[in-house]
């Protein structure tokens, strides 16, 4: 919307008496824009078809121009890659497919030079069965590390626990004939966080990366790390009570983790709280503790289970806000490497890009820290991958009922060349067929593209402190397909209005003194009443004094 955007800087200076340097809370992670990278699929630098750390380093300028403040990398540790790197055999090394420790240090240096922080993925629930700890643990029932994992000496599985994909979760090990527990694949034995020696050894792994300069961690399925000490059976309705996750001792461990993190300045954490649909914001919020003694942030994935409905979006968002402790801080993500891309949940059609832009406005103007999944800023969608090309083990196991996670992990679409600008050779996973038209290069040149919508929104967010830390108050709660809210910080207020409808919708008159600073459409209408185009989102700014 070029007719309005050039006025943003002057409008903000004129309407607001605060600058982004005068934020009430200077905690960087509260006003940062995060970007989630699946390293295998972001950029290949050496021609082997697999994304790597040097590739990420080579794309830092793109991230800086987008306005990204921090990146979260899915695991790059040494791994047999049974589960996409979430089966770790050495927590203090980089897997050769991604590069070397020196490559990672160079990424840190160059990212920091550009003002971009780097968060690593931290898998605390389990290791690879190739990890030296497990090699010792399985060697003998008397080994000092035996209790570092969860073993049972009986001749059969001790309970009815199932993996996250409903398989039997106890595996009889051939070495000693005893059973060990695994929440995921049998090659991913679960750690025993009740063992103090193991805990301290794991904390040393964390210190290794903090000493190197990593800016924090995203904690994988962190609510699953402690299991019931009595190994009791789960009830048939596991939503009511599950003994293999959500144990109270988890909170104590997270307090110790936060104390460790606090020894280093300006670090942050965000937890993945594993829940079943439709989500559980109260559980998610509980892992924030008092807001300053456990996790800094925790993902509530309830929105990832919602259909395109303004009322349901409001109810889900408000439930999350209501569940937060007084000092708790929210964060939002609409896509990720497990759940796939948000646009696919809302059907395909001629309004795909309009919906992508509306979601961008929602993500970047809600109260809370936004996390952008790589490629969402282009409007990337899940790919249809033939069975013979599936790489994800779950996709192979459960085809066709479940086609796996590869659909949302396809390579980044940089340009329309062969390989999509991702690689000069055969990519490890096929690109989405739409990369010829949906790619960064073409969208940079299109002023009305999804990418440039993200760029403008992030620019606006950084210019308006109210959009970063202002309180939120909903003025329309989804009735008739309209969601609207104000963000207020001291004398500054913004008003965000989103039309979830596929048709025009009138909106009550905007109060005098508000100035339109953003619209997702180039044919916006200012009037009494305001006429919102299908799937249009607009932002107004006003100084209260």
Query: Does the active-site annotation cover 220?
Result: yes
Query: Does the active-site annotation cover 263?
Result: yes
Extract the tokens encoding 165.
């994909």
Extract the tokens encoding 361.
């406005």
Q: Largest alpha-carbon pair distance within the chain?
A: 79
- Cα 483 to Cα 475: distance, rounded to the nearest angstrom: 8
| Residue pair 453/459 in contact by the 8 Å Cβ criterion | no
The residues, ordered by sequence, that sit 6+ positions from 166 with a Cβ below 8 Å of its Cβ are none
- Cα 252 to Cα 128: distance, rounded to the nearest angstrom: 25
- Cα 132 to Cα 139: distance, rounded to the nearest angstrom: 11
- Cα 520 to Cα 514: distance, rounded to the nearest angstrom: 18
The residues, ordered by sequence, that sit 6+ positions from 64 with a Cβ below 8 Å of its Cβ are 114, 115, 116
Query: CB pairs under 8 A, 24+ apart, for 340-343?
Result: 340/382, 340/405, 340/407, 340/408, 341/373, 341/375, 341/376, 341/380, 341/381, 341/382, 341/408, 342/304, 342/376, 343/379, 343/380, 343/381
Three-state DSSP state, 421: coil
- Closest to 498 (Cα-Cα) out of 522, 530, 452: 530
Options 220, 280, 392, 443, the catalytic residue:
220
- Cα 325 to Cα 143: distance, rounded to the nearest angstrom: 43
- Cα 358 to Cα 310: distance, rounded to the nearest angstrom: 11
- Closest to 221 (Cα-Cα) out of 170, 172, 183, 277: 183
C-alpha distances in Å from residue 316, one per residue of 240, 281, 309, 360, 535? 20, 8, 11, 17, 20
Q: End-to-end CA distance of the chain: give it in Å, rounded.
A: 28
Options 196, 263, 512, 528, the catalytic residue:
263
The residues, ordered by sequence, that sit 6+ positions from 422 with a Cβ below 8 Å of its Cβ are 41, 42, 43, 44, 51, 411, 412, 413, 414, 431
- Closest to 377 (Cα-Cα) out of 461, 443, 445: 443
Annotated catalytic sites, by residue?
220, 263
């Amino acid at each position: 919307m070029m007719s309005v955007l050039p006025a943003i800087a002057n409008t903000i200076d004129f309407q607001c008496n605060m600058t982004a340097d005068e934020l009430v809370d200077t905690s960087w992670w509260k006003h940062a824009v995060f970007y989630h990278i699946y390293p295998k699929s972001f950029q290949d630098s050496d021609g082997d078809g697999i994304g790597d750390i040097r590739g990420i380093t080579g794309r830092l300028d793109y991230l800086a121009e987008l306005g990204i403040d921090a990146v979260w990398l899915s695991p790059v540790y040494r791994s047999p890659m049974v589960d996409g790197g979430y089966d770790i055999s050495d927590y203090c090394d980089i897997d050769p497919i991604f590069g070397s420790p020196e490559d990672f240090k160079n990424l840190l240096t160059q990212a920091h030079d550009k003002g971009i922080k780097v968060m690593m993925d931290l898998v605390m629930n389990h290791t690879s069965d190739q990890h030296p700890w497990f090699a010792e643990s399985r060697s003998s029932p008397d080994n000092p590390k035996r209790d570092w994992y969860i073993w049972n000496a009986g001749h059969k599985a001790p309970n009815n626990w199932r993996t996250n994909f409903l398989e039997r979760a106890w595996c009889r090990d051939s070495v000693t004939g005893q059973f060990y527990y695994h929440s995921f694949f049998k090659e991913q034995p679960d750690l025993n966080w009740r063992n103090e020696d193991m805990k301290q050894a794991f904390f040393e792994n964390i210190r290794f990366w903090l000493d190197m300069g990593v800016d924090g961690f995203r904690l994988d399925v962190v609510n699953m790390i402690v299991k019931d000490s009595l190994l009791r059976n789960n009830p048939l309705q596991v939503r009511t009570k599950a003994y293999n996750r959500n144990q109270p001792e988890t909170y104590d461990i997270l307090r110790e983790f936060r104390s460790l993190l606090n020894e280093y300045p300006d670090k942050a954490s965000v937890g993945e709280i594993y829940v079943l649909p439709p989500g559980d914001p109260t559980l998610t919020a509980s892992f924030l503790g008092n807001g300053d003694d456990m996790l800094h942030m925790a993902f509530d994935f309830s929105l990832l289970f919602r259909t395109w409905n303004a009322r349901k979006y409001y109810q889900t968002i408000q439930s999350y806000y209501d569940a937060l402790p007084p000092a708790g801080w929210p964060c939002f993500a609409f896509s990720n490497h497990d759940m796939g891309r948000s646009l696919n949940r809302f059907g395909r059609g001629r309004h795909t890009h309009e919906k992508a832009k509306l979601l961008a406005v929602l993500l970047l103007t809600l109260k809370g820290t936004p996390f952008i999944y790589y490629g969402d800023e282009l409007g990337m969608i899940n790919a249809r991958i033939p069975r013979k090309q599936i790489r994800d083990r779950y996709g192979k196991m459960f085809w066709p009922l479940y086609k796996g996670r590869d659909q949302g992990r396809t390579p980044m679409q940089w340009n329309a060349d062969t390989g999509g600008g991702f690689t000069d050779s055969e990519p490890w996973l096929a690109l989405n067929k739409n990369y010829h038209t949906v790619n960064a290069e073409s969208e940079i040149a299109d002023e009305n593209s999804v990418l440039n919508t993200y760029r403008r929104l992030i620019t606006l967010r950084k210019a308006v402190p109210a959009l970063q830390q202002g309180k939120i108050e909903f003025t329309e709660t989804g009735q008739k397909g309209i969601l609207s809210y104000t963000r207020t910080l001291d004398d500054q207020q913004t008003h965000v209005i989103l039309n979830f409808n596929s048709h025009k919708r009138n909106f009550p008159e905007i109060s005098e003194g508000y100035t339109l600073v953003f619209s997702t459409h180039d044919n916006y209408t200012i009037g009494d009443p305001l006429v919102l185009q299908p799937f249009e989102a607009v932002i107004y700014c006003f100084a209260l004094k």
